[in-house]
Structure formats: C-alpha cells, structure tokens
Amino acid sequence: MLFITIQELEAAINYWRSQSPAVGEELALCLEAAVLAKPYALMIVQGSQRMPLDVLDEGARLALQGYFKTIQKP
C-alpha cells in the first residue's frame, strides 16, 4: 500500500479511540489517535481523499500498522 485513504485513517482513529477512550477534563486523545489526527486534519483542510504513506511520521505509521494488524483475518 502506497497511500492511505481518508476513510482508512478515520477508521484507524476510531479504532484507537475505542481501545483507549479520551480522558481528563480536556478529553485528551490516546497517543495513537493523536498522531493520526494531524494527517487526518491536514487531509480535511486540503480536501484530499488519500495521502502517501511516506509523508507520515514514524508515530503515525506505527499507529496505522497496529490498526491494520487488528483488521487482518488470520
């Protein structure tokens, strides 16, 4: 996979939010959801439907890898 779609990114954020709900008065996101929120917001602002994976930072790539491992069927 060379690109991530906005739908896949949103699904990954929602997965991580379900695994570790926001906490505190400020409703801070877990680390994985927070690192994915930045490229997601950028895609919304730019009106993009997909983004090259190589522009994501290491934290975002790791969060995506963790998400994709959970949705793969054995």
What are the pLDDT digits (tens) for 23-71?
888 888 999 999 999 999 999 999 999 999 999 999 999 999 999 999 8
Nearest to 32 by CA among 70, 73, 64: 64
Give 28-60 as a DSSP string: BPPHHHHHHHHHHHHHHHHT-SEEEGGGS-HHH
- In this predicted structure, what is the pLDDT of residue 9? 96
Cα 70 from Cα 7, distance rounded (Å): 16
User: Does position 18 have pLDDT exceeding 70, yes or no?
Assistant: yes
Q: Does this model's pTM top 0.75?
A: yes
